[in-house]
Amino acid sequence: MTQDDSAQAGGGADEAALSVGQYEFNADENVSIERAGASAAIWAVCAVVGAVLLGTLAVVQYTLDNLRGALLVLPLFLICAVAGWLYLGAGKALKEVATTEGNDVELLMRALQRMATAFRNEVIVTAATVVLFVVLYLVTQL
């Protein structure tokens, strides 16, 4: 039976599952996976700390009656918070691949799915930032 056949055979059992493949990563592979998970989690913590700082800044601006300043900081707060949450989930799933047994491929797929969502969000945010920079530059030059 090929991998595709086994995927079709088990597909109806759990539609939310991203994989039905069975493979157990060896110790060397687990080291690489765990390392990627750990660095993703640290990066997520950086994003969460950034979100907390930006959230605090927004609250401070609001208490100083600077609603415009608070509204400007709010999108950055949301971006950092969402990125932190996504990378934290991806890092956790990657670490689970290394520390658990019996569900490695499914966990790897979940980690990659979260990572893809985080990458997509970053691309959108980067594009929006570049457009904002150009608009601000043109507005200030006029």
Q: Which residues bind another protein (CB under 8 A)?
A: 3-4, 6-7, 11, 18-21, 23, 26, 29, 32-33, 35-36, 39-40, 42-43, 46, 94, 105, 108-109, 112-113, 115-116, 119-120, 122-123, 126-127, 130, 133
Distances (CA, A) of 85 to 8, 49, 54, 93, 135: 32, 11, 15, 12, 30
CB of 61 to another protein, least distance (A): 19
Rounded to whole angstroms, how far apart are CA atoms 92 and 98? 10
Measured from the CB atom, is 43 or 62 closer to another protein? 43
Measured from the CB atom, is 72 or 126 closer to another protein? 126
CB of 77 to another protein, least distance (A): 17
CB of 74 to another protein, least distance (A): 21
Torsion sign (Cα): 97, 103, 109, 113? negative
CB of 64 to another protein, least distance (A): 21
Rounded to whole angstroms, how far apart are CA atoms 138 and 132? 10
Measured from the CB atom, is 120 or 135 closer to another protein? 120
Measured from the CB atom, is 70 or 115 closer to another protein? 115
Rounded to whole angstroms, how far apart are CA atoms 52 and 77? 8
Contact 20, 5 (CB under 8 A): no
